[in-house]
Structure 1
Amino acid sequence: MINCVIIDDEPLAREGLASYVRTVDFLNLSGVCENPLELLPLIDRGAADLIFLDIQMPKMNGIEFLKILQKPPMVIVTTAYPSFALEGFQLNVLDYLLKPITFERFFKAAAKAKDYHKLLTGNPAKQAEDYFFIKCASKYEKIFFDDILYIEGMQNYVMIYSTKGKYMTMLSLKSLEEKLPEGNFIRAHKSFLAAIVKIDGIEGGELFIGNSRIPISRSYREKVIERVVSKRLWDNR
């Protein structure tokens, strides 16, 4: 989790960024400040890994503030003025967001901060290739491959059933299948993909995963039995 602080003298700008931060599961909003001087106590107690910093503010602008910090946290500049971009990057800011800031642009910058934070902390947690993000309504959801139970295709949408819940997103089943780790999932039906290690049993024309029953079409049955059962079947005949 990355503790982040928003510094902006405009109330609407602070509220907008705060709502974005609360939407991203790897960000924790640890402070909201009207001017840079309010940040110093948060830095002293280690509550600021990442700063979303406005430039044009009363008392002290963001660039001046960065120049006086000896060991600044990660910084993403948020401003309506593109003229400060060069100076900002010379001060090693991670990214430079021009207002009005879309969520897509915000999320891209936040993901960059996450990757850099992982390098700084040596975090041995699950690596980037272990998960992906999908857009569900207005929220971006992180899905770990290991948590997926099965996936159901519904015209232009898919429903992903996982150990954490179910998620609907606007993707085709075919395009999602092409992105999944090879060998970990099997198609049991034109509308269903199943995680092989999550399959509890097979009977007749159905797969059992927990309390769920997934149909197996005739055209896929032989391949399903071969992939799921044959190599691990203990037969006393």
Structure 2
Amino acid sequence: MNLTTAIIDDEPLARECIANYVNDVDFLSLTGVGSNPVELLQLLDSTPVDLVFLDIQMPLINGIDFLKTTRDLPMVIITTAYPSYALEGFQLDVMDYLVKPITFDRFFKAVNKAKDYHQLQARASASDEGHASTEYFFVKCGFRFEKIFTDDILYVEALQNYVTIFTTKGKFMTLLTLKQVEQNLDDRQFIRVHKSYVVSMPRIAAIENNEIFIEGSRIPISRQYRDNVMERVVNSRLWKK
């Protein structure tokens, strides 16, 4: 399975270096190059792209701002001379972060990670064909991409730059914000109960004072969210006799 790639960088030598690396990897094919993110959008309108090599410091708009404001992008590997953006880049769910000058060994490790993720998505799509109502998303946990079914989620806890997703199958820690996880959840099923917690309404076993009980865990309800939580509880058909 080949990955179609695009290179977006305002430095001609940097584009040439990455293009040479792409040509040396048998599962990569180069479909386009550009000097700024606007050219990438034009390319995506006309050409299928699986993987983008994206610089940060570019004219018109830098790579980080572009990732923040653009949705439905292919997989992205950042290529930059600035290591200080690494944490922010990973929070935007990039596949990898390569600091220039980029060695081929480091490049090859990054594109193999992208290939593995692409194959994982393809297998998941094939196995779930005919089950469109099954909702799930992938999260990156270390070097693995874990498939999370939303019906399996008990609750989600935020801690600094990470979240832990507690499910019936186990718990999964990933470098995301709670807000990013919420975007993958149906707000008819999930509810924010605290600045650090989102819970599954059907999984709530009991509520006592300012605590929610879910399979042996106690989740706090903050004053800010309590009224909304109790209104949802009272109006939920799950709580009516």
**TM-score scaled by structure 2?**
0.51
Q: CA deviation at 1:84?
A: 11
Q: Is the 8 A contact 2:163 2:175 kept in 1?
A: yes
Distance 2:152 2:195 in 1: 22
- Given candidates 98, 103, 106, the residue that maps to 2:116 is 106
TM-aligned CA distance change 1:128 to 1:139, over 3 Å: farther
Q: Secondary structure at the match of 1:171?
A: coil
Deviation per residue, 1:39-69 (Å, 9 max, x gap):
xxxxxxxxxxxxx79xxxxxxxxxxxxxxxx
Distance 1:84 1:188 in 2: 45
Distance 2:176 2:115 in 1: 21
Does 2:169 match 1:164? yes
Distance 1:192 1:110 in 2: 29
Q: CA deviation at 1:83?
A: 11
Q: CA deviation at 1:219?
A: 1.4
TM-aligned CA distance change 1:128 to 1:141, over 3 Å: farther
Q: Is the 8 A contact 2:134 2:149 kept in 1?
A: no
| Correspondence for 2:143 | 138
Deviation per residue, 1:74-97 (Å, 9 max, x gap):
xxxxx9566997xxxxxxxxx9xx
Distance 1:212 1:168 in 2: 17
| Correspondence for 1:72 | none
Does 2:230 match 1:214? no
User: Aligned letter for 1:204?
Assistant: N
Q: CA deviation at 1:123?
A: 4.7
- After the TM superposition, which residues 2-13 of structure 1 pair with which residues of structure 2 at under 5 Å, given as runs? none
Q: CA deviation at 1:155?
A: 1.2
| Correspondence for 1:178 | 183
Aligned Cα RMSD in Å? Answer: 3.2
TM-aligned CA distance change 1:104 to 1:189, over 3 Å: same
For the pair shown, the structure with the greater C-alpha radius of gyration is 1
- After the TM superposition, which residues 82-101 of structure 1 pair with which residues of structure 2 at under 5 Å, given as runs? 100=108, 101=111
Percent identity for Structure 1 against Structure 2: 42
| Correspondence for 2:229 | 224
Q: Is the 8 A contact 2:135 2:149 kept in 1?
A: yes
Does 2:195 match 1:190? yes
User: Aligned letter for 1:169?
Assistant: T
TM-aligned CA distance change 1:200 to 1:161, over 3 Å: same
Q: Which runs of 5+ in 2 are unaligned?
A: 3-22, 30-49, 51-106
